[in-house]
Structure 1
Amino acid sequence: MTERYRVRVAEGDQIKAGLAMQMVALATCIPSDRMVSRQRQAPQVCRARWLSMYLTHVGFGWSLERVGHAFGFNRSTVAMACRWAEDARDRPELDAVIERMEATIRDICEGPALVLAPGAPS
């Protein structure tokens, strides 16, 4: 099976999953376009993608299925990624980075949406 797992995803979910992926890209110096590539990737790229999935799951409180839809993978793939990330958090330096990324997501997303042009149609 070479077809990508795809389910219609709300624009807001795409944006939030993209935020998690960009944060991981910044922290790991692995471009997000490599994380979403369907071609075989080096282990560090796969782990960056897994970390993005995990951050989306814990940062936004999404179900594994919802994360899978946003990333184009099934729920069991996301579950495996989350298990890897939980185990990786045993490394204090990685745990500290993940904790900061989670806090950043909460800080950005818990506030009201920013209106850039009040009164103008969006």
Structure 2
Amino acid sequence: MEPYRVPVTEGDRIRADAALALAALAFAVPIAEMTRRERVRPRACRARWSAMYLAHVSHGWPLERVGHAFGLNRATAGAACRWAEDERDRPDYDALMDGLEGALRAVMALPLVDLAPETGSRR
């Protein structure tokens, strides 16, 4: 059976990748492990769920968009976000997610910079 796939904009994919990168750093789980299609260890699965929740709350995305950006369906995104909401009852997780939300919003608010601006002279 073919995996669930919906066309996603490059911008959404970049924003989802930013949430994954922050979650990978915060939970000490490699992104490659979080995004594998086969079964992953519980720590990696929960880190991915946290990244999905982070994208949902920081970007204001509906669950369907979260699912599409992460290559999953809406039901999976919903389950991930419900789990993360429940975990926010833990003060340590709540504080960490507050910090990650602020960090992601701050990064996304930075101005875009052209990495190859045209210059008048070449050396």
Q: When the two structures are superposed, what TM-score results if normalisation uses the length of structure 1?
A: 0.90
Deviation at 1:118, TM superposition (A): 4.0
SS across alignment from 1:3: coil
Determine the structure 1 residue equivalent to 2:89.
Answer: 90
Deviation at 1:119, TM superposition (A): 4.8
Alignment of 1:17-56 (within 5 A): 17-56=16-55
Separation in structure 1 between the aligned mates of residue 113 and residue 96 of structure 2, nearest angstrom = 26
Determine the structure 1 residue equivalent to 2:74.
Answer: 75
Separation in structure 1 between the aligned mates of residue 19 and residue 110 of structure 2, nearest angstrom = 17
Instruction: Answer yes or no: is 1:103 the counterpart of 2:70.
Output: no
Separation in structure 1 between the aligned mates of residue 4 and residue 70 of structure 2, nearest angstrom = 9
Q: Percent identity?
A: 52
SS across alignment from 2:57: helix
SS across alignment from 2:72: coil
Instruction: Answer yes or no: is 1:3 the counterpart of 2:30.
Output: no
What value does the CA root-mean-square deviation take over the aligned residues? 1.4
| Count of residues paired in the alignment | 119
Separation in structure 2 between the aligned mates of residue 25 and residue 92 of structure 1, nearest angstrom = 20
Task: Name the larger-Rg structure.
Answer: 2
Segments of 4+ moved more than 6 angstroms:
none
One-letter code aligned to 1:56: A
Deviation at 1:33, TM superposition (A): 0.7
One-letter code aligned to 1:99: D
Separation in structure 2 between the aligned mates of residue 5 and residue 115 of structure 1, nearest angstrom = 34
Separation in structure 2 between the aligned mates of residue 16 and residue 63 of structure 1, nearest angstrom = 14
SS across alignment from 2:89: coil
Question: 5+ unaligned residues in a row in structure 1: which ranges?
Answer: none
